[in-house]
């Protein structure tokens, strides 16, 4: 079993973790259905992209309907 060679002091441990913060994804409003979506992605709510229906969803019109 591996054994640490030296104790990591609390300050050093927290210094290392100072870069671990996560950021929320940037969201934009879909121009078609006004849901929040990732930029440069097909809207998951309505399948709209670049001013046209890019993807036909399996459950059209369903609010927040995932699989099943
Ligand atoms: Zn949309």
Buried b (16+ CB within 10 A) or exposed e, 4-30: eeeeeeeeeeeeeeeeeeeeeeeeeeb
Number of structural domains in the chain: 1
Centre of ligand 1 from the C-alpha of residue 58, in Å: 14
Q: Say how many Å lie between the CA of residue 56 and the centre of ligand 1.
A: 12
Mean pLDDT of 50-63: 79
| Dihedral sign, Cα of residue 33, residue 41, residue 66, residue 22 | negative
CB of 54 closer than 8 Å to CB of 44: no
Q: Which residues contact 57 (CB under 8 A, 6 or more apart)?
A: 46, 47
Predicted confidence at residue 28, as pLDDT, reads 96
Instruction: Name the more confident of 68 and 18.
Output: 18
Separation of CA 5 and ligand 1 centre (Å): 54
- The parent domain of residue 30 ranges over 25-59
Domain membership of residue 43 (yes or no) is yes
Question: Does this model's pTM top 0.85?
Answer: no
Q: What is the pLDDT, as a whole number, of residue 58? A: 84
**Is position 7 within any domain?**
no
Average pLDDT over residues 9-13: 96
């Amino acid at each position: 079993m591996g054994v640490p060679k030296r104790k990591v002091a609390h300050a050093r441990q927290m210094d290392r973790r100072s870069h671990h913060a996560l950021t929320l994804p940037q969201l934009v409003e879909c121009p078609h259905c006004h849901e929040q979506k990732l930029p440069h992605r097909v809207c998951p709510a309505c399948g709209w992209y670049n001013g046209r229906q890019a993807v036909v969803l399996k459950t059209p019109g369903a609010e927040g309907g995932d699989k099943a």
